[in-house]
Amino acid sequence: MPYQEESPICRHYREASEMLGKRWTPQILRGLLSGVTRYTDLKDGVAPISDALLSDRLKELETLGIVVREVTPSTPVRITYGLTEKGRDLAGVIEELAAWAERWAVEPASA
């Protein structure tokens, strides 16, 4: 059977699901959607994520046009993160995921 190139719809869905499926990405997006903008606040909200991984995820999301990084020259330098229009458009996805998680959460059996 000859190789068939996947349709653009499948490719776009695959790319979106891979982006959202990366470890810590949904938590970072949820933090940004709730108004958290400082790196340290994101780190505290997504604990126990490492500094290196949080930095990598923020850079990836920035490259994808989902997150914007703003540097304010001051002493000390102030760096904040925010969502672009593309990032804010993920609100419904993240909120639905959170609602689904709460609906189907299983409480651990008491000892």
Instruction: Kindly report, residue by residue over 25-42, the tens digit of the pLDDT.
Output: 999 999 999 998 999 999
Owner of token pair 């925010």: 82
CB-hemisphere CA count at 13 Å for 72? 9
DSSP-assigned beta bridge partners for residue 78: 72
Count how many domains the chain has: 1
Count CB atoms within 10 A of the CB of residue 38. 12
Q: How confident is the model at residue 4 (pLDDT cuts 50, 70, 90)?
A: low
Question: Per the domain annotation, does 27 fall within a domain?
Answer: yes
Q: Which percentage of the chain shows pLDDT scores above 70?
A: 92
Domain of residue 95 covers: 8-103
In a domain, 40, yes or no: yes
Q: Which residue has the higher pLDDT, 54 or 2?
A: 54
C-alpha 22/C-alpha 56 separation (Å) is: 11
* Tens-place pLDDT, residues 67-98: 999 999 999 999 999 999 999 999 999 999 99
- Assigned token pair, 33: 């959607």
Q: Does residue 108 fall inside a structural domain?
A: no
| Mean pLDDT value across residues 33-53 | 93
CATH number of the domain that residue 78 is part of = 1.10.10.10
64 part of a folded domain: yes
